[in-house]
Structure 1
């Protein structure tokens, strides 16, 4: 039982100590960001729209009921009415109050391609919304990159600050011994102590910033981010661009093409069947109803062709408007590629610049470290004062800080270049 508990504790510690990579944070942020829920909503909305359009082929059924009173109705001329009366027939004529309860059925046989074109538009609009969602999701990477590399830089600054504190504490202990031995002044000891306390104060400020940024990144990713793994340098190809924005522009152009087909479908005639029936008074047989005032069943079926010629009035302007939409999408793609190329050049140049700086930083740190060690030796022998030692310690720390900044900035520019080309 004890072994099981120990194994469980080891597993928990291993999991908690796992360092999150940049890719893991980006994937977690994409899954955690609320916009991911739109994919399901877009898909369901598109299917409902297409399903509703498909139902346009079903018969259109309209039920109606009406009651009317007319000031005049069809009636027999008095001369004919008197003839019928002499024959013993009472020709009443139509009643002024009339009633009707009926059903009207319309069935489309040919719509010129309107329904199918509307379904294509609905599907293309759904696809465009999904790609726009991809663009929003992809832009999260840039935000994660900013927080991730900023947090890495803070971690490096805290580590360097800890090194400086250790150096100052070591010098402080040596000076304390020298003060007791009468070989150093108390002011020198207090000067180093004040410098160490200042470093501790700076450390507290850096850790507060680290905690704040760590919480932001954790909330953004939807997971606890405790340890970050420094990304490895990457080589990015600058010959291809796979950004989702390019797919969005393609979808916009395809949507314009679908609208053009729908525009042509509006010019075509429509063909359909119809059926009308009602129960009421009067019916289609007016003469019968003039003699016998009773409700009857009446019906009519037929085929109908309609052609809305007014669609030709605006067809040319509508086509030109869609052509403008296509050109706007193409222009937006050109602008995006142009700006992406500029970003690519800038990131590439920055990577080269930081690589050269990092190479020079190694030599500078080596020299600064040698000078600092020599200053410590000189202080121990009373050749220099404490201020000279502190200056060399700060110079060494500044050189190490510059190296850390250059390394993080170089990695950041590499991954920004990767982001620019979606690799």
Structure 2
């Protein structure tokens, strides 16, 4: 474990992954750190910052400029002879600049910022959920490589045993106690073992490439995967990131309800308008004049045909939908956990019987070795017994790895 920890520290500090050992925990940590989807969290945060600035800017002074030129078919006239008041021009011009400042909005902007903040958490948690779901894929790849690793160890043992038998058989042929060509049968089996080694190596290359892509690190096929140890606690509660996501979605609905409630609050703003035109504010003065106005404005949407109320009712239905999704999620997770618990019990029973079978196979093979030395049985008969033992040992390794895989998936399913 100390060596593994050292290599992991080396990975973090140097950014390299030229290590001899790799653990399942490290794979989880690397996918959390290096999978391309992780970049979305930073992008979402940047986007949220921009959106929040847009909302905040609504509380800052707003400046608008307007210019217009019109021609009217009629203008206001004073029907008093000799009054000296000229008629207005039918062509009129006006340019204005208005500065407005929001004074009171009932907390609408604060509510909008809070909703935007929760929306960011929802989006980022969704990214975490998507990455978390990759961990079962990592489990499948990791334990597939681990199984090939174990098979390679068994093949090496079988190879060494064959080499030892070949020497004995050759010696027996030389002294005439064993039939000629008996060694050729064993040598042919040795060639088959080389083919199996080749098959393992090609499969490892494919699996390592897939695992490397997921965790974002180049792995050598010579890397040794460690056998993880699991302490399962069936009584532990489910702690999946999806549950946190559901809660954040509820919080988002509550925040949106606050925004809707603030929409009906009166809004007060101040304004100042300056302009230049013909006519100015004095409609009877037929000349270009500058002018200004200042004041306050109250805007209160008193009646909206119950649209506000209906929007809030719609949000409450969304919350009920989320609660229903939580119920379905928990149901499916519990079903999956129960299936995995049964699978673990089944594999454990297989492992118990595997040990019994292997012990019997070893006794049979021991007898076969003695018979082969004395020329009682042929090399083919010996290979049959050797292969039977190898297959049963492979079954044991396969069941052990399958058990580890189910335990790893069980932990991921539970969120431990």
TM-score, scaled relative to structure 1: 0.88
Does residue 51 of structure 1 match 2:63? no
Instruction: Please state how far the C-alpha of 1:262 moved relative to its aligned partner.
Output: 1.5
Does residue 345 of structure 1 match 2:345? no
Does residue 387 of structure 1 match 2:389? no
Q: Which moved more, 1:107-116 or 1:373-382?
A: 107-116
Determine the C-alpha separation between the residues in 1 that align with 2:39 and 2:55: 25
Pairwise mapping of residues 181-220 of structure 1 onto structure 2 (< 5 A)?
Answer: 181-220=175-214
- Map of 2:159 onto structure 1: 165
- Secondary structure of the equivalent of 2:146? helix
Does residue 241 of structure 1 match 2:238? yes
- Map of 2:399 onto structure 1: 406
Q: Deviations over 1:169-214 (max 9, x none)?
A: 2223322333333333344332222222112112211111112212
Determine the C-alpha separation between the residues in 1 that align with 2:233 and 2:36: 30
2:294 to 295, 298, 301: 301
- Map of 1:374 onto structure 2: 367
- Map of 2:349 onto structure 1: 356
- Map of 2:13 onto structure 1: none
Determine the C-alpha separation between the residues in 2 that align with 1:421 and 1:410: 16
Determine the C-alpha separation between the residues in 2 that align with 1:401 and 1:311: 74
- Map of 1:143 onto structure 2: 137
1:275 to 272, 276, 299: 272
Does residue 333 of structure 1 match 2:355? no
Determine the C-alpha separation between the residues in 1 that align with 2:89 and 2:413: 82
Count of matched residue positions in the alignment of Structure 1 and Structure 2: 398
- Secondary structure of the equivalent of 2:134? helix
Determine the C-alpha separation between the residues in 1 that align with 2:411 and 2:149: 23
- Map of 1:285 onto structure 2: 282
- Map of 1:221 onto structure 2: 215
Pairwise mapping of residues 55-74 of structure 1 onto structure 2 (< 5 A)?
Answer: 55-74=57-76
- Map of 1:5 onto structure 2: none
- Map of 2:96 onto structure 1: 102
Q: CA RMSD in A?
A: 2.1
Q: Deviations over 1:139-197 (max 9, x none)?
A: 22222111111100011111112222222222233223333333333443322222221
Runs ≥4 in structure 1, deviation > 4 angstroms?
A: none
| More helix per residue | 1
Q: Deviations over 1:13-32 (max 9, x none)?
A: xx956411111121112211
Determine the C-alpha separation between the residues in 2 that align with 1:374 and 1:404: 24
2:38 to 33, 36, 39: 36
Is contact 1:26-1:140 (8 Å) kept? no
Q: Deviations over 1:34-78 (max 9, x none)?
A: 11112222222222222221111122221111122222212232x
Closer, same or farther: CA 134–247 of 1 in aligned 2, 3 Å: same
- Map of 1:174 onto structure 2: 168
> 5+ residue gaps in structure 1?
1-10
- Secondary structure of the equivalent of 2:224? coil
Determine the C-alpha separation between the residues in 2 that align with 1:19 and 1:158: 17
Is contact 2:48-2:120 (8 Å) kept? yes
Q: Deviations over 1:71-120 (max 9, x none)?
A: 2212232xx23x24xxxx5x432112211111123322222332222112
